[in-house]
Structure formats: C-alpha cells, structure tokens
Structure 1
C-alpha cells in the first residue's frame, strides 16, 4: 500500500514538473518574438526612390522663326493641365503676343510711310518725264519751223540760208541730246520706282510673315498623347508665366508611354553596388499593387549636388521591361535593385543577432531551454542576414533578448 502511494505521489510530481516546463516554455514564446531559421535565396537589394519618365518623348515647341524678328523671350500665357490627353491637332496652349503685336503695328506704320514715298516718287517721276517729253516736242516743232523758213528763203542771200541751216543742225543736235537725256532720266525714274516699290513689297512680306507667326503663338499638338510639362535648366517645370527661348523652345512634351524608365539618385555608399545590367523591381506610390520588372541601363560616374542637399548623389536610370496603363510620367517610384543573390543559404532576421566581445550569437530554443549559440554571419540586407555556421534549418531563434539569461555562457563554434 505504501509503495502504491509513493508511486502515486511520484507520478503527480512528474506531471507537475512537465506541466511547469510546458507552460514555462509557452510563457517564453508568448513573452518573446521568435522566428525560424529558413533556407532559401538571399537577395541583397538597394532601395532608392525615383521618378517615372519616358525614354522617348516628342517635344511640343513654340514658334521657331521668332528669332528672325528679334523676339527672344516669349511668356506662356495659357497651358492645358499636365496629364491632359490630347488628339492630333488638339489645343496645347497660347503664348503672349504683345511683343509680336507691337512689331506688327510698327511694320504697318512703316508700310504706310513706304507707300507714301512710293506715291510721291510716282508723281515726281510722272512730272519730270512729262516735262522732258514736252521739251522734246518743242525742239521738234522748232526744227519743222526752221525747215519751213529755210524753204521760203531760197531767194535769200547765201549767208541767210546758211544761218538757217546751222540753226537747224544745232536744234537737231539738241533734240538728239534731249532724247538721250530723256532715256537716261526714264531709267533713273524706273530704278527709283523699283527701289521704293521693293521697300513696299518687303514690308508687306514682313507683315505677312508676322501674321503667320502670330498664328503659331497658339500651340496645337502634332500627335495624340498625354501632355507633360518640360523642365527648365533649374529643374522647375515650365508653366503659365514661364518663358521659352530660341534655345529652349519646348512648351510641353508628348511622352511615349510604352517606353518608360525610373530616374533615381543613389548615395555614395550604395552606388558602389549598382552596376549597369542589374535587375530591378519598380513599385509606384500611387499604385501599391503594381510592381514591374526593370533593368539598370545607366549609372553616372560623377556625382552631383541636388537642390536642397549637400550630399553628392549619382544618377541611375532603370528601364521598365513592361508597361501599365496606369503609369504616368512624374509618378514617384520605389526601386529595388538586386545587387547580389545567393541560393540555398540559411537566413535569420537581423533582430535575431546579438553580439558580445566581437562574438555574434543568437538565442536558440533547445527543448524546454534556451541556448546562447555563437553564429558565423555572411551578407545582410535591410531585413535578413546569412548564417554560415552555428544554426540549422528550422531552428527557432528569439528576436528579442529573453529575461534572466545574461549570465548564461555562449556555446562557441568548434
């Protein structure tokens, strides 16, 4: 009977111990966050934000001939909102025509003056040539009269006859010279008329060209697409009130939405990892569910200082391998560039790694107890790290330090 009681008591004690250890283990798991050691592919990625843009776009330019007329700076008076979908021939915007209208008015005043000079020259020419023709007629009449008088003087003394003959010869010579002078003056008059007439034609042509140029101050699209604003030299987008010049004539652009890229800037630390040809994944802040594949196409060799920052940044271009109808130029992108990949490796979260005296270790669940196990580490990214030795697949590690284990010794690697 005593033996049965003793066995019964021992059984109860064993049950209590097992229950204590079981619930103590559950308390550890409830109080501490844990994770399993996983085997898989390790991805070392660089995370940088950027801006979506088209790799191919057609610029919509303002008037290209304005420079011929001394117009170098033209303000944008009106512009459709960015993102507007336009058809071919659709309205884009309007430029300020005040300076051009002033030149048209000046040209019209110059035309009035030139036409007045033309009329005056025409009248002067008509009067001058008329006087010359009258003088020629008078000399012709004088010759006829002298010849008639000579015929009536056949019975006059020879001296009188000779005097009349000399007079006729002189008058005929004067007539010949007068006709020659008339021909020269007529040519001179024609030349002057051509000169003033050319000036009139020149000004008329200038006015026609200015009026044609005036039509170009209302901008229409040469193709269909989505309007995006272009950037000025300082990086600001052109908008109403901005200025276009002969050297920067674009007022807007029509990007090819089938050819997109992400323009990003990397810091000096990450740029060492980024190479041309690396794969990338591009997300979009406006559409969290969209993630597209891409590839790095360009990495700047020289850094630049961006506005509002003193840090040198390096431009990186990532081409999108696919498109999505929701993606638009100017959208903020989240880029993950895959710089390295290692397959079939053991990994744990970064939070599971602890260190003491240059020794890295992890808190590992071992049955109903917890071990402090030294581990050999490999590469890491922002979330996980490779474990080269010290842990096995499916081992459970703690993400925070369990209580009352500070004095426990670390199990070192062999």
Structure 2
C-alpha cells in the first residue's frame, strides 16, 4: 500500500484550548460591586470627615497701611525701593522744607515783635504813671488857687473873670488827670494775661503757638514709616513730584496680624463657634500647613455688603446657598513669606461627630 501523501493527510489539531467560561458568581460580584463602590465613595465624600467643614474660598489678608504726606510740597528725596522691608521710624521720603523753614522764621519774628510790644507797653505804663503824678499835682494847685480866688470873691476883692479862670483851671486839670488814668488802664489791659495762658501776654502766646505749628510742619517734611512692614506701590514716588496732603503716596504691608478671610456656606455654620481649631493650607506653598482658630464669624453674608445687594423679588426665585465670611486667626509663625491675597484652603474642626 502506497504511502499516503503527506499533503493530503489531516493536520493535527493545533488550536489553543477554549477558555473556561467566567463563573456566574464573578459576574454577579462585578455587577453589584461597582455600584456599591460608587455609592461608598459618595458616602465617604459627604460623610467621610465628620466634625470638619472646609472651604477653598479663602484668602490670606494682611494689614495694609497707606502712607501720605501731612503737608504739601515737592518731593526732594526718596529713601525706599519697592518691596523693601522697613522699621517704624525709618525715613521713606522727604519734601522741600524751604517754605516751612520760612514759616518758622516768621513765627520767631512774630514772637519778637510781640515781646517788643510788651516791653514798649510796660515803658508807656511807667511814663504815664509819672505823668499821672504830675497831673495830680496840677489839679491840687488849681484847686488851691480856686479856693484863694473864692475867698477873695467872698470878701469882695476879686473879679468874676479871675473866678472863671480859676474854675476853668480846675476843670482842665481834672480832665487831664482822668485822661492819663484812662491811658494807664488801657496799657495795663494790653499787658494783662488770660486764664488760658496765665503769666504770658496773649500776643506772645499766639506767636509761640504759630512757632510750634511751623516747627511741626517742618518736621512733617520728613515722612517716616508708621509701622514695620514691606513697602509697596513706591512707583508713585518720584523726585520733583508734588505731594498733596492726605493723598496716599505708598503703602506698607504689615508682617504681623496675618489672618484668613474664609467664605463658608451658610449650611457649614451649624456647629461652628469662635475658638475652634482650624487647618490652613496654601495653593502657593503646597508643603506649608499652618494651624489657626476661628476668630469671629461675620455679621452678614457677602451679598449683604455688596454695592448692589441682590433683590429676589421676581417670580422666578431660585434659592442660592449664601456665603458667610469667617475670620481665621493664624496661631503659628510661617516658614514662608505670607503675601496678602494668597488663595488658601481652610478646614475647621467643629467637633460635630
């Protein structure tokens, strides 16, 4: 028997063995496990952190002090640069002092003039007092002459003309005495002092007050830092620029007093109280975490203090969860620089399990 043609011989079954069917219990487990896992994740999201409320609608706040010149004038020197750290009392910039130095000189001249006037009035009082003594003597002499002329007239040895002359002399002497007495009283009144500045002539006191104000204004031409902090907005300061009184020229951001203004949903305030501990994280510093506490809870929602508060008076009213500002005090010193306005995330531990 001839050998069979190998090409016509049936090939051996080389196909891979068929996969075993997945057991039904596994299918049921997958079908039930996925929805259960989704529900569990949802429950963990809502209830996984009992006793905590958190918000990422929170921003770091620092005290910013606006610095303005108290007197107007031209800026002559600028001593600071942008972001420079200064201490309270450091010189920030200077204003041309020429006008205020002149005011000091004028005030000194005013005091000198008042003092000279006081001296002159004192001399006038002394001179008038001497004239007053002479006037009294003149009156006494005129009265003595009148009495002699009157005795002669009574005895019939005098004329009416002499009596009239004696009478006129007495009247003139009396008028002169009264005029001098009035001058002395006026001079003494000008030298008198009031109860507000006892012992000091009012004109001298006014001059001293003007001098004190002039010196104060001169001192104010050197503008100093009122607090410690970091200088900003220095670009508004230029030599030769005119500074206006009470117009802010730069700002100082204080390092102390850092806090977080966190806007929590009104539904998160149920168990929130001042004094509760808080955790603060920063978007700018992922590795930085600070501790703090609830300092205070705002007296109104953000919409209440807006320029145009919302008025939900239409028929299509939709209830919107409001945000309430909560101030979070920072309890520890930061290892990184704190910049006003940084975005933060705040978690408050309310203890509501």
| TM-score, normalised with respect to structure 2 | 0.51
Classify the secondary structure of the residue corresponding to 1:288.
coil
Quick check: 1:265–1:315 contact (8 Å CA) kept in 2? yes
Classify the secondary structure of the residue corresponding to 1:287.
coil
Match of 1:220 in 2: 224
Match of 2:347 in 1: 337
Quick check: 2:300–2:324 contact (8 Å CA) kept in 1? yes
Structure 1 stretches of 5 or more lacking a match?
1-7, 19-34, 230-235, 344-414
Change in 2 beyond 3 A, CA 1:320/1:139: closer
1:50 aligned residue (32, 54, 58):
58
Match of 1:84 in 2: 84
Are 2:323 and 1:324 equivalent residues in the alignment? no
Change in 2 beyond 3 A, CA 1:134/1:48: same
Change in 2 beyond 3 A, CA 1:193/1:279: closer
What are the within-5 Å matches in structure 2 for residues 5-404 of structure 1?
Answer: 13-14=16-17, 17=19, 42-43=48-49, 46-54=54-62, 80=80, 83-93=83-93, 104=103, 111=110, 129=128, 136=135, 139=138, 159-160=157-158, 171=169, 174-175=172-173, 178-192=176-190, 198-199=202-203, 201-221=205-225, 225-227=228-230, 244=246, 255=254, 257=256, 259-266=257-264, 270-274=265-269, 275-276=272-273, 279-305=277-303, 313-337=323-347
Measured in 1, the distance between the counterparts of 2:244 and 2:53 equals 41
Measured in 2, the distance between the counterparts of 1:182 and 1:212 equals 44
Change in 2 beyond 3 A, CA 1:159/1:175: same
Measured in 2, the distance between the counterparts of 1:295 and 1:301 equals 18
Measured in 1, the distance between the counterparts of 2:13 and 2:298 equals 79
Which deviations, in whole Å up to 9, do the C-alpha atoms of 1:24-62 show, x marking residues without a partner?
A: xxxxxxxxxxx9999x993376332433235xx696887
Classify the secondary structure of the residue corresponding to 1:273.
helix
Structure 2 stretches of 5 or more lacking a match?
1-11, 21-36, 194-200, 238-242, 311-319
Measured in 2, the distance between the counterparts of 1:146 and 1:138 equals 12
Measured in 2, the distance between the counterparts of 1:170 and 1:297 equals 94
Classify the secondary structure of the residue corresponding to 1:323.
coil
Measured in 2, the distance between the counterparts of 1:309 and 1:96 equals 47
Measured in 2, the distance between the counterparts of 1:342 and 1:161 equals 125
CA root-mean-square deviation: 6.2
Measured in 2, the distance between the counterparts of 1:304 and 1:103 equals 53
Quick check: 2:100–2:217 contact (8 Å CA) kept in 1? no
Larger relative strand fraction: 1
Q: Which stretch of structure 1 is more off in the superposition, 158-167 or 273-282?
A: 158-167
Q: CA deviation at 1:330?
A: 0.7
Quick check: 1:50–1:335 contact (8 Å CA) kept in 2? yes
Measured in 1, the distance between the counterparts of 2:16 and 2:189 equals 134
Which deviations, in whole Å up to 9, do the C-alpha atoms of 1:215-260 show, x marking residues without a partner?
A: 135333466x31467xxxxxx99x7678738xxx998567463x53
Measured in 2, the distance between the counterparts of 1:188 and 1:342 equals 85
